[in-house]
Amino acid sequence: MAYGDIDPINADEPANVPPAAQPPPLAVPSAEAPDEPPLALPAPLPPFALPPLAAPPVAVSPFAPPPDAVPPLAAEPTVAEPSLAAAVPAADAPAVESPEMRPSTESPASTEADVPPVGPAPKRKRGLLVGLVVTLVLVLLAVPAFLALGSGGADEAATAAAPSPSASAAAAPTGPPASPKPGDPPYVAFAWAKASILQSLTDMSTAYAAGSLAGFVKPAADKKLRGELEVRFRSLRAMKVSNLKLTADSGPFDDKKVGGYSEWGVTVAINHCFVVPSCEPDKMLVDTAWRDSPSGYRLVKWSRVKDLRGPQPWEVSTLTAAVGSRAIVAAPKSLAGRARSFLPAAERAAKIADKYVLGRKPDRYVIYLAGPSDWKKWFGGSEDWAIGFAIPASEERSDIVLRAEEISGGYAESVMKHEMGHVATLAGRDYRDYNGENWWLTEGIAEYIEWDGRSVGSYDRKLSSRKFLREKSYKGNLERLVPDDDAPDWQIDAAYGLAYYATRCVADQYGHKKLMKFADQVLRNGRPSEAESPVILGADWKTVTKRCLTYTKQKVGA
C-alpha cells in the first residue's frame, strides 16, 4: 500500500480356495494285547480362522492398476517430496486441480521394541521361565508352517517354510520405476513420469545451491525457457535467496499426447528463505508442464507465481541487490547504485518496523526499486499517483516496491518505514481486503509506525487534515474514511492524516499495547471493531470514535 496505498492457483464368483490340509494321523505302535481298545485320537484341529486384515481405504486414481493386475517386480520406490506476495496489487496464473495420486504400496520397516531388563528371579522358578520361553518359541515357529498347511499342499508349505535367497531378493525391489513399454498399464507411465520429474526438480535445487546455472536450466526444452529460468536464477542468487527447494505440490496430472509423447502438468512449490541457511520457508506455487522425449522428460512450461495480479520482479527482470542485516534492496542493473545508497535507510527503517511486528518476524524486509517500465509491470503495476506500495508475495511475506524516480534519498526512509509498517502488521495478507471499513486502521497504523519517536504536533499531514475537517462534513465515521480513487490529491493526503490521528488517539488515550492488540484482532483476525472495542479498549466503539474526533480536532486546530 503506497503512499496513497492502492487497490494495488470377475469379482462376482468366489475364488477357488483349496481345502485346508489336515494334520497326518498320529502313528501309534501296535499293542501286544489285542483285547484292549485302540487309543482314542483327538479330532484334527481346524485351521486357524484368521479375520482378513482391514485394508485402509484407497483413493481410486485413473492411473491405478485394475484390481486383478499384477504389478511389475520393480515397484515404485517411495520418493521424498518436500514441499518454494501491503498497498495492494495481487494475482496471475490459474490454479490447477490435481487428481488423486496413486498411493505408495511400500510398508514402513518394522522395528523391534526394546525389552526392559528382567531382574533376577528365585532359582527355583528359572526352569519354569526357560520352559515357557522354549514353549513360546516352538509355538511361534510352528504357526507359519501350520498356516502354510492350511492354505495349500505340503509342497507349498515346504517352499514357504524355506524361501530361497533369490526369492527373498526379488521381494525387495530397489531403484527407479521401469521405463514404460508398449502395452504397459497406465500406472506404469504415471510412475515413470512422476519419478523423472521429481528427480529433475531435485537436480535443479541442487544446482541452485551449488551456483550452477547450467544445471539449473538443464531440464528446459528450448532456448526461450532456458532464458526465463536464467533470469530467475541470477536474480534470486543476487538477493541471497537460500535453502531453495523445488518440490511437487500436486501432480502429475492432465496427461495428454503432444506429437506422440506424453505431457504432464505439475504444480511446483518454490520453498525458500532469505539469506539465513534455514527458516520456516516461504512457499510460492507455479504451474509447470513436462513432456516426454527420447532423452527423458523435459520442461516445456514454467508459469509465473500464482495468485498474484502480475509477475514478481525476479521473474521478469534480472536484478542486482544490496543485502543488509534486516533489509534487502533489489533493483535492475541500471539502478544498482541507488540500491546500494538506499540500504542504510532501509536498515534503519527495518529496526523501527521490527518493534511493531504482529505475526512472524520477516527474515529480511525486501524492497524493490522500480524504473518507469518496472513500475507498470511488477506485481501488475500501480497507479501513477503512488510512490510505493507493499503487496503479499507469498502466504507469509509481503514485499515493497518503490518508484525510484519519485523518491529522493532524504524522503526514502520515511516511505520505507510506512511500507515496512504494512509488512510488520499484515504480512502475507491481501490488502485489498482492507480498502473498506478497516482502511483507516490499515493506513493509520502504518503512519503511526512511520512517525515512531516523533511528536504528534510535528506530523506532516496536519494542514490537509485541518482543511478536510473545515470543508467536509466529516463526523468521525472512520469506516467511511477511505478516499475515492478520483479524489483530489489533498483529500487523499487528508484521509491518511485523519487515519493517523485516530490511530494515535487510541494509543494516547487507551495505551500502545491495547492499540496493537486491537489492530491484531481487527486487521489480522477479521474481528469487528464494535466487538473488540469493549473487550480490549474498555469502551464501546461509538464512544471511542467520538472521543478520537475531539482528539483530532484539538491536534490540528480545527
Segment 187-205 shows an average pLDDT of: 95
Cα(363)–Cα(325) distance, integer angstroms: 9
Residue 405 grid coordinates: 524516480
* pLDDT class of 434 with cuts at 50, 70, 90: low
Cα(280)–Cα(273) distance, integer angstroms: 8
Which of 3-7, 412-416, 481-485 has the least mean pLDDT?
Answer: 3-7
* pLDDT class of 395 with cuts at 50, 70, 90: confident
* Buried residues in 332-342 as b, exposed as e (16+ CB within 10 A): beebbebbeeb
Closest by CA to 400, choosing from 435, 450, 355, is 450
Cα(410)–Cα(224) distance, integer angstroms: 41
Q: Is the pLDDT assigned to residue 528 strictly greater than 80? A: yes
pLDDT digits (tens, 9 = 90+) for 147-191: 333 334 333 333 333 344 333 334 444 556 767 788 888 888 899
| Residue extents of the structural domains in the chain | 186-308, 435-558
Q: Is the pLDDT assigned to residue 488 strictly greater than 60? A: yes
pLDDT digits (tens, 9 = 90+) for 436-465: 889 999 999 999 999 998 999 999 999 999
Which of 151-160, 255-264, 371-380, 442-451 has the least mean pLDDT?
Answer: 151-160
- pLDDT of the residue at 399: 94
- Partnered with residue 319 across adjacent β-strands are 332
Strands of 223-360, DSSP E: 241-258, 261-274, 282-291, 298-302, 319-323, 327-332
CATH architecture of 186-308: Roll (3.10)
Contacts for 42 with CB less than 8 Å, ≥ 6 apart: none
- Partnered with residue 248 across adjacent β-strands are 268
pLDDT digits (tens, 9 = 90+) for 125-139: 333 333 333 343 333
pLDDT digits (tens, 9 = 90+) for 547-558: 999 999 999 998
Segment 406-415 shows an average pLDDT of: 88
Query: How many CB atoms are located within 10 Å of the residue 59 CB?
Result: 10
φ, ψ of residue 299 to 5 degrees: the values are -80, 120
Q: For residues 85 and 305, is the Cβ–Cβ distance under 8 A? A: yes
- pLDDT of the residue at 169: 39
Segment 71-86 shows an average pLDDT of: 37
pLDDT digits (tens, 9 = 90+) for 28-58: 334 344 444 444 444 443 333 333 333 333 3
Segment 189-198 shows an average pLDDT of: 94
- The per-residue pLDDT of the chain, averaged, comes to 76
- pLDDT of the residue at 230: 98
pLDDT higher at 91 or 224: 224
Contacts for 322 with CB less than 8 Å, ≥ 6 apart: 328, 329, 330, 339, 340, 342, 343
Q: Is the pLDDT assigned to residue 72 strictly greater than 90? A: no
* pLDDT class of 277 with cuts at 50, 70, 90: confident
Cα angle vertex 235, ends 231, 239, to 5°?
170
- pLDDT of the residue at 93: 37
Q: Is the pLDDT assigned to residue 417 strictly greater than 70? A: yes
Segment 367-374 shows an average pLDDT of: 96
* pLDDT class of 123 with cuts at 50, 70, 90: very low
Q: Is the pLDDT assigned to residue 313 strictly greater than 90? A: yes
Radius of gyration for the alpha carbons in the chain, expressed in angstroms and rounded: 35
- pLDDT of the residue at 184: 83
pLDDT higher at 512 or 10: 512
- pLDDT of the residue at 433: 54
Closest by CA to 434, choosing from 381, 362, 482, is 482
- pLDDT of the residue at 180: 77
* pLDDT class of 271 with cuts at 50, 70, 90: very high
β-bridge pairing 388-392 and 365-370:
unpaired
